[in-house]
Amino acid sequence: MFMYQAQPPLEFIAPKYNPQFLRLTHLLLPLWMRAQTSLTKVEAENVETLVDLYSQFQAGKIRFMLAFRHPKTDDPIALGYLFSRIVPEVARHKGIKFTAPVHAHCIYDRGIPLWAGAHMGWILQYLGGTPIQRGKADWTGLRSARDLFANGAFPMAAAPEGATNGLSEIVSPLEPGISQMAFWCAEDLQKAGRTEQVVILPVGIKYSYVTEPWDAINDLLTELEVKSGLKSEELGVRSEELTSSTQHSALSTQHSLYSRLLRLAEHLLSIMENFYTKFYHCKLSTNGGAELPSDKNEAIAARLRALLDVILQVAEDFFKLQPKGSLNDRCRRVEQAGWNCIFREDFKDIKTLSVVEKGLGNRAALEANMRMWHMRVVESFVAVTGSYVRENPTPERFAETLLILWEMVTRITEGNTSRRPNLGKQKANIIIGTPISVSDRYSEYKESRSGARLAVADLTKELQVSLEKLI
């Protein structure tokens, strides 16, 4: 019921770093990882670079931010293992002594405690994290993050993609906030007469299965086929194909599964297109009005782009928003508009409101939440290309694509997407990239407003390229 009732505005969760709580978290992390995630192992490459940056940070020579890839919600667990286990081990091997602990102040989405539970806000608070409300100028959150970047006891950590995209091998378009914050840090240091250099460190995170989960992939694909209403005789043919193919080669298995995946994608697209055309009176302008490509993957991609656009318009029309910018930008504006209807300034003193006013407020919150549902469907697909599996039909790409489809189907049929299917044990590979100097670009940034905008855009572009190279 929480999101269906009008409430006072969201309060800022001030960071309250607690060293005892961090030690307890590091101690319990392996147990938490085994119990709450599919991760069994975390590996890292080029850790020496991170060790060197921590050494310089503790020596007062630099301030830096880890800009990490964010494919899934397990990323903070993997990074916590990196900080608590791998970095100290590599430092000892190199003979470098740190002032314990190795940690980072994370910047997190203020919405996380809403869907993950209030306890998660408490955990992040006492780990020294600071929240940001996406989709609006959250000056309180920005001031807190800016102060921690320049003066915090630890480096910063943030995901420049802004949200998970479910895909280990595709980087979503980056938001410029990380670059802007880095330049603010350089500005704050200069004003204070400090000599530290400001650096952004790209960090890649990629997941792989310990054992190829083809059986689990087949089972999940079958479940989605049944739920989406594909005919039983079609399922029987595909099951026979799979049984026959596994007797011959893994390549045949992949071909069979891929054919089924394409059929499922086309079927779900048709269902969703019919739904939004019939009940929301949307006009689908597929492929800009031109004929669809003959290639099935390209045709699916064109249809998906058109569908995502009209789904977002359903939410935007309700909130009177113009469809400007990328899908990510539009999702953030819809989310903030919905939150404005749920977490209201005029409900600060809710006890003074009449029963009628509360009832109308709850009605507005319910309708806003229903419109935000459409945005959540789009949010799951912002990085889907239509050719991700075809380009490299690994079990990881099959699984990631199927889990995105599962999230959409589950959002429609049940609503609760928190319990994702576990297709098998995984390991995380963290790749430390090459540091990017922000201080070297600061002279360009401070020249003029246009120079600042260009500097932020250029830094964001370089960070995007750096993260893509780490895949």
Specify if 2 maps to a domain. no
Interatomic CA distance for residues 52 and 49, integer angstroms: 5
Residue 167 maps to which CATH number? Answer: 3.40.1130.10
Cα separations in angstroms, 142 against 7, 178, 186, 423: 23, 11, 15, 38
Q: Are residues 236 and 204 in the same domain?
A: no
Phi-psi region of 20 (alpha: psi -120 to 50; beta: other; left: phi over 0): alpha
Phi, psi of 68 (to 5 degrees): -105, 150
Find tokens 């079958």 and name the residue: 222
Specify if 162 maps to a domain. yes
Q: Is 58 exposed, middle or buried (0-12, 13-18, 19+ CB in 10 A)?
A: middle
Specify if 460 maps to a domain. yes
Tokens standing for 318?
A: 């309700």
Q: Are residues 103 and 237 in the same domain?
A: no
Q: Are residues 142 and 91 in the same domain?
A: yes
Q: Tell me: the pLDDT tens digits for 88-124?
A: 999 999 999 888 899 999 999 999 998 888 899 999 9
Q: Are residues 75 and 167 in the same domain?
A: yes
**What pTM was computed for the model?**
0.91
User: Residue 250: pLDDT above 80?
Assistant: no
Please give the single-letter amino acid code of residue 270: S
Q: Tell me: the pLDDT tens digits for 315-368?
A: 999 999 999 998 989 999 999 999 999 999 999 998 899 999 999 999 999 999
Specify if 38 maps to a domain. yes
Range of the domain at 29: 14-210+426-469
pLDDT band at residue 454 under the 50/70/90 scheme: very high
Specify if 8 maps to a domain. no
Tell me what the pLDDT averaged over the chain comes to: 92
Q: Are residues 124 and 195 in the same domain?
A: yes
Half-sphere exposure of 73 (CA within 13 A, CB side): 12
Specify if 27 maps to a domain. yes
Interatomic CA distance for residues 367 and 371, integer angstroms: 6
Q: Is residue 7 helix, strand or coil? A: strand
Q: Are residues 85 and 38 in the same domain?
A: yes
Give the DSSP letter string of 326-362: -HHHHHHHHHHHHHHHHB-GGGTTGGGS-HHHHHHHH
Interatomic CA distance for residues 353 and 23, integer angstroms: 45
pLDDT band at residue 129 under the 50/70/90 scheme: very high
Residue 94 DSSP symbol: H
b/e map of 3-18 (b: 16 or more CB within 10 Å)?
bebbbeebebbebebe
Specify if 5 maps to a domain. no
Interatomic CA distance for residues 140 and 158, integer angstroms: 17
Q: Are residues 187 and 244 in the same domain?
A: no
Q: Are residues 458 and 400 in the same domain?
A: no
Q: Tell me: the pLDDT tens digits for 5-48?
A: 999 999 999 999 999 999 999 999 999 999 999 999 999 999 99
Q: Are residues 125 and 252 in the same domain?
A: no
Q: Tell me: the pLDDT tens digits for 394-422?
A: 999 999 999 999 999 999 998 788 888 99
* pLDDT mean over 282-305: 83
Specify if 9 maps to a domain. no
Reported as type and span, the H/E element at residue 115 is helix 112-116
Q: Give the number of domains in the chain.
A: 2
Q: Are residues 121 and 251 in the same domain?
A: no
Interatomic CA distance for residues 58 and 51, integer angstroms: 11
The total of other beta-carbon atoms located within 10 Å of residue 233's CB is 8
CB 134 within 8 A of CB 111: yes
CB 263 within 8 A of CB 296: no
CB 302 within 8 A of CB 293: yes
Q: Are residues 406 and 342 in the same domain?
A: yes
Find tokens 């893509």 and name the residue: 468
Between helix 327-342 and helix 296-319 the angle, nearest 10°, is 30
pLDDT band at residue 237 under the 50/70/90 scheme: very low
Interatomic CA distance for residues 430 and 442, integer angstroms: 29
Per-residue confidence (pLDDT) for residue 287, from 0 to 100: 63
Q: Are residues 42 and 117 in the same domain?
A: yes
Interatomic CA distance for residues 241 and 386, integer angstroms: 23
Per-residue confidence (pLDDT) for residue 236, from 0 to 100: 46
Phi-psi region of 287 (alpha: psi -120 to 50; beta: other; left: phi over 0): left
Tokens standing for 204?
A: 């890649």
